[in-house]
Structure 1
Amino acid sequence: MAEIVPKKIGTHSGAFHCDEVLACLMLSKYTSEFKNGVITRTREQEILDQQDIVVDVGGIYDPSKHRYDHHQKSFVDTFSSQHDIRLSSAGLVYKHFGQEIIKNVAQSLLDENKDNLNIEIPLNQETLDCLHQRIYDGFILGVDGNDNGVEQYPLDIKPTYSDKTQLKFRIGRLNPMWTEKNADENVRFRSAMEIADIELRWQVKILLLSVLPAYDSVKQSVLNRFNTHPSGEIFTLETPVPWKDHLEDLEKSLNLGKQIKFILFPESPAKKAWRIQSIPENWGTFDQRVSLKEEWRGIKDMTELKNVTKIEDIVFVHNSGFIGGAKSYESVLRMGLESIEAHNAKLNNKQ
């Protein structure tokens, strides 16, 4: 059998960034054509010309020649007509190889977890298409935006806190510091690829093994919300599953508006305690359509909390009023109904 010669992957030398690290990782681990490819980091055009594929350098975007740079002025490509952020090298690789990448990542995760799943998760085309789109929108798009200098928020809004746990920071800090003498850039690049791989696999794993399988459960719970209460303003999940993304989609597809105010769910599958959580006024924020009653919030002393709420098995109410808990389902339902009643009374008094 003829020996398989690994393909040659080229990218730029010097300081490395999240986009080409992720691009090289996806190509060299999750595509059949470039699997185990030899990565060369250079800016010398003669060497780049010898590579089977080049990302993030070279000034050329030509898929037919496997040239994927995005720095030239003529480059304006986005992932689809529904997107308006230009692609980085990670986005370019994902646009052209993403379906294969997602299929291989997903299959390896299913193989890895096959003895530890309590439900069967089919890897059909519908699942793959959903993963492909969601991974771009929820992960790769952020890499594209960061690399192209697109602000996440309008410039007139001052961030209330700094989040430096993002992938770009975790990769960026592996670049040699100016005080280091003998740091090997290529070794650091390989370490950065390992971090990118861990992040990519987690992004797919969360969707494949947790979020997507929860859709039917959330949908059925929303449709059955009038069984929780005739108002339809509260719904119950019998199993604690990821629900926020699905509820946002369901509110749109079912034309629910902002009718639902609270969700009830067990703390664990054993149902020994229950939680009540408010639905955000605007998705992706912490503001609430209806908060748990103000006079209940943040009381640490259990005797005082029980006296104030008149709920014997209450456990807590968060300071901000977005979540609370009790030992029984009946009590969290009561917490929601009383909070909605108090909220409506306050609105009526303002009028």
Structure 2
Amino acid sequence: MLLAATHSGSFHADDVFAFAILKAATDGAVSLTRSREAAVWDAAQVVFDVGGIFNPAAGRYDHHMRDKPLRDSGEPFSSAGLIWRDYGRAAIVHVQPQATPGQIDTVWAKLDQGLLRDIDLMDNGVMDRHPGHFSALLETWNPSFVETDSDENAAYYQAVTVAEAVLARSIAHAFAAAVAQDGVAEAAAQADDPRIIVLESRLPWEEAVFDLNLTQALYVIRPAGKDWTVSAVPPERGSFAQKKPLPDAWGGLREQELASVCGVADATFCHSARFVCGAKTREGALAMAVLAAGVA
């Protein structure tokens, strides 16, 4: 059983989430004491968000000092980010035991640069605070001044339960992204033409193309039910544009009309915005992608 300690009193998202991470990392084999007593902290194996010391070797994870711990980017850690740094991978192993070492690293990085970084920045006042942010919502579990009969510790553990659920779902989605990334990487390695990536299942590819820095990729082919689609890769993450739109002559055409124009007998459609087209077979979709890539 891991003995942990943090401060009593009102809580923030970082000390709530730090304990949720420790629970996941130890598969629940952790006991927490919330106290302002130094003797309690000294008796614990892990102390977070309190104590004025950052020393991972000694199990101390505070971040409120003048010389506070910083990320490589220069952005400040909170206790959540610090605990995630050292215990996050163990948490992932327990939540997604089927993850490979490489996938664990990918999941860890996605959460570190997303959810955990936002919690860190919000706690340190570096990010603008707004009511809809996860950190602000989690902190509404603190009893309000009119709730005079509320149990502060009970409220803290209720917030931890919410944080545990968010952590588990965040890991699950990041794991799915890591699996998709592995699939895209394998397909890219096997591609005859680096401009055209062919996926044999309907993997989500958008993030993976940029995470893997597949700068030459123009089109991604994958199945869609019984048919196949060709999607144009955007020039940057999150963009609605395309590096190379599908041919202008194809835009908005369907079935026989499209087949007559592009020369692919089983072509089924091309969106008027020219970011996706389709064919009934893998071979037809590949032929359309090859034609599109070769259009000047």
Alignment TM-score, normalising by the size of structure 2 = 0.75
Moved over 6 A (4+): 294-297
- Preserved CA contact (<8 Å) 1:167 1:196: no
Superposed, 1:1-351 pairs within 5 Å as 7-14=3-10, 16-31=11-26, 35-40=29-34, 42=35, 44-45=36-37, 49=41, 52=44, 53-78=46-71, 82-107=72-97, 110=98, 123=100, 125-151=101-127, 164=132, 167-176=134-143, 182-208=149-175, 210-226=176-192, 232-251=194-213, 258-267=215-224, 271-292=225-246, 305-306=254-255, 309=258, 314=268, 317=271, 321-330=274-283, 332-333=285-286, 336=289, 340=293, 344=296
Whether the aligned pair in 2 keeps the contact of 1:10 and 1:48 (CA below 8 Å) is no
Does the CA-based 8 Å contact 2:259-2:267 persist in structure 1?
no
**Following TM superposition, by how much is the alpha carbon of 1:335 offset from its aligned partner in structure 2, in angstroms?**
5.2
Q: Is the 8 A contact 2:21 2:91 kept in 1?
A: yes
CA distance in 1, matches of 2:86, 2:242: 40
Rounded to whole Å, the distance in 2 between the matches of 1:217 and 1:29 is 27
Alpha-carbon distance in structure 2 between the residues aligned to 1:201 and 1:219: 25
Aligned counterparts of 1:291 and 1:175: Cα–Cα separation in 2:
51
Deviations 1:213-253 (A, max 9, x none): 44553233223433xxx6x42221111224344433544xx
Alpha-carbon offset, residue 334 of structure 1:
5.6
Aligned-partner SS, 2:197: strand
Distance in 2 separating the partners of 1:168 and 1:237:
38
Where does structure 2 lack aligned partners over 5 or more consecutive residues? 261-265
Q: Do the aligned partners of residues 334 and 38 (structure 1) sit closer, same or farther apart at CA in structure 2, a change above 3 Å counting?
A: same
Kindly tell me: are residues 288 and 95 of structure 1, through their superposed partners in 2, closer, same or farther at Cα, counting changes over 3 Å? same
Give the paired residue count.
289
Which letter maps to 1:35?
A: A
Partner SS for 1:265 = strand
Per-residue CA distance 1:54-100 (angstroms, 9 max, x = gap) = 3223333233553322122221333xxx4432211011112233343
CA contact (8 A) 1:211 1:241 kept: no
> What's the RMSD between the two structures over aligned residues?
3.9
TM-score if structure 1 supplies the norm length? 0.65
2:263 aligns with none
How much identity, in percent, do the aligned residues show?
25
SS at match of 1:7: strand
